[in-house]
Amino acid sequence: MAFLMKYEVKQKLLTKKTKRRSGICMPSVKFIVSHDTGNDGSTALGNVTYYERSNNEKEASAHTFIDDKDIIECIPLTTGQPEKAWHVLYNITEDNRLFGGNANDIAAGVELCYSYTKGSINNKESYKRYVWYHAYLCFKYNIDPKKNICGHNELDPSRKTDPFKNALKIMNISKAQFIEDVINEYDECTIKESQPMTIEEKTAFNNLKDIVEKQTKIITTLHSTIKSLQERDKMPQIPEFAKEAVETAVKAGLVDTPEGGSYDFYRLITVLHRNKLIF
Ligand SMILES: [Zn+2]
């Protein structure tokens, strides 16, 4: 099985061993926390640049930022050995209850860039990439999109509205709709490689191959037979009996190539001439 890489996943990594990027590896990627930036009009590159500039100011980060042009991982998730990002507070308990662990340890943190009032980001294009990337994560880490995708607002409802009560609400997309879109994208982008042939299929295939080979031989033989018959029929020169008839026919403009005709051709032309049908 393979996954269709509709979009390029770019890598613009933060400096390691900073507050934003510890460099600690994730033991596994079990679920996805969907976020949005909460910042109208900020771009993927803009957010990553800001993170790097402030890399030792705050223990807050995410793996990936997505806008209408780019999908950028600033902490490795699919483009390298997955490392932890700090995208959900450790002291909330909903992630432990639902998924058996802290989001920061075992969840991907994916940020959607959008525009509400400014219109500087094409929300539709951002959303397409966001959906595709979620589907790709589900494929890569064997995550069930129905059960193991949740919004930041679901884990930390008292503090957070992203993304289902913020950016996706602005785009008029419910969580159910989003999950459906991810599932459809997953199905559309999953490329099933053909299964190896069974013994029965192989036998049938070989039999068919034999038949085709035999038929090809027959056709080749037929072709060469027809060709030799045509050659045999061709007269090496104009026969004596037909010379006068052929000359007349050439003069009358009825024949362009007097040589190389068949025996029947010369016989016919002679009969026509003798009966004064060629003059
Ligand atoms: Zn968030």
pLDDT number for residue 9: 98
Residue 36 C-alpha to ligand 1 middle, in angstroms? 6
Q: Is the predicted pLDDT of residue 196 greater than 90, yes or no?
A: no
Ranges of each domain in the chain: 2-191, 199-274
**139 C-alpha vs ligand 1 centroid, how far in Å?**
23
CATH classification of 2-191 is 3.40.80.10, yes or no? yes
Q: How confident is the model at residue 184 (pLDDT cuts 50, 70, 90)?
A: very high
Cis-peptide into 258, omega within 30 deg: no
**How many CA atoms are closer than 13 Å to the CA of 11, on its beta-carbon side?**
10
Lowest-pLDDT choice from 97-101, 130-134, 250-254? 250-254
Which 8-state DSSP code applies to residue 35?
E
pLDDT of residue 227: 78
Cα–ligand 1 centroid distance for 163 (angstroms): 7
Contact yes or no for 89/26 (Cβ under 8 A) = no
Residue 229 pLDDT > 80: no
* Partners of 64 in beta bridges: 73, 110
Q: How many angstroms is it from 169 CA to the middle of ligand 1?
A: 14
Confidence of residue 279 (pLDDT cuts 50, 70, 90): confident
- Residues 243, 117: Cα–Cα separation, whole Å: 97
User: What separation in Å is there between the alpha carbon of 114 and the centre of ligand 1?
Assistant: 14
In angstroms, what is the span from residue 106 Cα to ligand 1's centroid? Answer: 16
Which residues, 6 or more positions from 132, have their beta carbon under 8 angstroms from its beta carbon? 6, 7, 185, 189
- Comparing CA positions, the residue from 125, 3, 109, 134 lying closest to residue 70 is 125
Those residues whose beta carbon sits under 5 angstroms from the ion ligand 1 are 35, 152, 162
Q: How far is the centre of ligand 1, averaged over its atoms, from the C-alpha of 167 (Å)?
A: 11
Q: How many angstroms does the Cα of residue 63 sit away from the middle of ligand 1?
A: 11
Q: What is the pTM of this model?
A: 0.71
